[in-house]
Amino acid sequence: MGLERTIDRKLTDEIADGAITNAKVASDAAIAATKLGAGAVKATIIAGGAAGDHTVTGIAVGDSLVAVLHVDFTDVSETGADITSEFSISGASTINNTGGTATTGGFLVVVWEDRT
């Protein structure tokens, strides 16, 4: 007894690799993990400064911020903080701190996923 087809459904082994696009996958469907290509995750260290725009060469609107970490070596406390939620990508090679945390004297470790 074989499998019966209805409405042109195909068996898994009959579906070509790459034939299913994101538009065909339900939003709550389980999707297997995918390896990121070389160069997909990028990082740099920049000087801190006042809240506002900071230059991050190579970042672009459409990329995704993974982390913005503030590292401060200006005194003996040598603090670090995750301030990712205060930042957004506001333009070509620009991130913007709208959260108000001044990072002057410290450094920002910026990590992003290159989606452009």
- In a domain? residue 32: no
As beta bridge partners, residue 50 has none
- In a domain? residue 22: no
- In a domain? residue 68: yes
Number of domains the chain contains: 1
Residue range of the domain that includes 94 = 39-113
Dump pLDDT digits (tens) for 76-116.
778 899 999 999 999 999 999 998 899 999 999 999 999 88
- In a domain? residue 103: yes
In the predicted model, what is the mean pLDDT of the chain? 84
User: pTM here?
Assistant: 0.68
Contact 75, 69 (CB under 8 A): no
**Which pLDDT does position 75 carry in this prediction?**
76
- In a domain? residue 51: yes
- In a domain? residue 11: no
Dump pLDDT digits (tens) for 39-85.
789 999 999 999 999 999 999 999 999 999 999 887 777 889 999 99
Distance CA 59, CA 114 (A): 7
Residue identified by tokens 């696009």 is 21
- In a domain? residue 31: no
- In a domain? residue 86: yes
